Amino acid sequence: GQNIDQPTEMTATEGAIVQINCTYQTSGFNGLFWYQQHAGEAPTFLSYNVLDGLEEKGRFSSFLSRSKGYSYLLLKELQMKDSASYLCAVRDRYRGSTLGRLYFGRGTQLTVWP
Amino acid sequence: SQTIHQWPATLVQPVGSPLSLECTVEGTSNPNLYWYRQAAGRGLQLLFYSVGIGQISSEVPQNLSASRPQDRQFILSSKKLLLSDSGFYLCAWAASFEGNQPQHFGDGTRLSIL
């Protein structure tokens, strides 16, 4: 099974930088995803890491350390529209097939204040 | 480009009634398909996944079932709904060889059981 842990809530001000941490325990790690979910909407894909290191995508970056079972999502130059839940999801290896099941954390609710 | 359609957007059903939620994907062939449920204050829970027509795997025991009658159609059903079936149901697809490809979610169905 999978055990994924992330903070429940975080707050920050517009223009600031925020880091959302995620720790996981998994058998057969095959990638880590971050999704953004606004209230009442479906999750949308933000980033993917499978190797150690930092992946940068505009204002968003994601970091992975497989040996530590740790990832973070870094959001820079925060905007009001970044207020949302951020979901960490770990993919496993399923019987050597191409399918990988995603296991989600409960999400971190980020509130950005003006 | 690929799109995923899910309907209805909201549904209110009495306890004991049947359920049928439909999901279709366009613009891709042989996708992996998934059904998730998100209960209030909880993470996304994988319910079913499918790698091909007629191939369904269940993640958790429950009174729900899934079917894949066509390559790009995924249906979630129940013969008799329980109060505990309330939640936000999300269908997702991913490329059959997932690699670094994420799962993409439909807009979801908000199901309330009375």
Q: What is the pLDDT of residues B59-74, one digit of tens each?
A: 876 789 999 999 999 9
Contact of A60 with chain B, judged by CB distance below 8 Å, is answered with no
Using a CB-CB distance cutoff of 8 angstroms, which residues of chain B are in contact with residue A6? none
Q: Say how far apart CA A26 and CA B79 lie, in whole Å.
A: 34
Contact of B46 with chain A, judged by CB distance below 8 Å, is answered with yes
pLDDT classification of B50: cutoffs 50, 70, 90: very high
What is the per-residue pLDDT for A94?
A: 64
Of B32, B42, B97, the CB nearest to A106: B42
Nearest chain B CA: its distance from A89 CA (Å): 9
Spatial CA neighbour of A60 closest among A47, A50, A69? A47
Using a CB-CB distance cutoff of 8 angstroms, which residues of chain A are in contact with residue B44? 43, 87, 89, 102, 104
Using a CB-CB distance cutoff of 8 angstroms, which residues of chain B are in contact with residue A3? none
3-state secondary structure of A88: strand
What is the per-residue pLDDT for A1?
A: 56
- Cβ atoms within 10 Å of A48's Cβ, excluding its own: 19
Angle, alpha carbons B86-A86-A6 (nearest 5°): 90
The residue ranges of DSSP E strands in B1-114, in sequence order, are 3-7, 10-13, 19-26, 32-38, 44-52, 55-58, 64-70, 73-78, 87-94, 104-105, 109-113
Q: Which residue of B has its CA nearest to A5?
A: B43
Using a CB-CB distance cutoff of 8 angstroms, which residues of chain B are in contact with residue A89? 44
Spatial CA neighbour of A22 closest among A37, A2, A41? A2
Q: Say how far apart CA A77 and CA B43 lie, in whole Å.
A: 27
pLDDT above 60 for B44: yes
Mean of pLDDT over chain B? 91
Spatial CA neighbour of A76 closest among A61, A62, A89, A91? A61
Kind and range of the H or E element at A22? strand A18-25
Contact of A69 with chain B, judged by CB distance below 8 Å, is answered with no
Name the one residue in this structure whose structure tokens are 């894949």: B68
Contact of A100 with chain B, judged by CB distance below 8 Å, is answered with yes
Of B45, B49, B104, the CB nearest to A45: B104
- Cβ atoms within 10 Å of B62's Cβ, excluding its own: 15
A81 to each of B72, B81, B85, B105, how far by Cα in Å?
A: 33, 37, 31, 20
Q: What string of pLDDT tens digits covers the 114 residues of chain A?
A: 578 999 999 999 999 999 999 999 987 888 999 999 999 899 999 999 999 999 999 999 999 999 999 999 999 999 999 999 999 999 887 655 556 788 899 999 999 999
Q: Which residue of B has its CA nearest to A34?
A: B102
- Using only C-alpha atoms, chain B has a radius of gyration, in whole angstroms, of 14
With contact defined as beta carbons under 8 Å apart, do B109 and B21 qualify?
Answer: yes
pLDDT above 70 for B89: yes
What is the per-residue pLDDT for B97?
A: 66
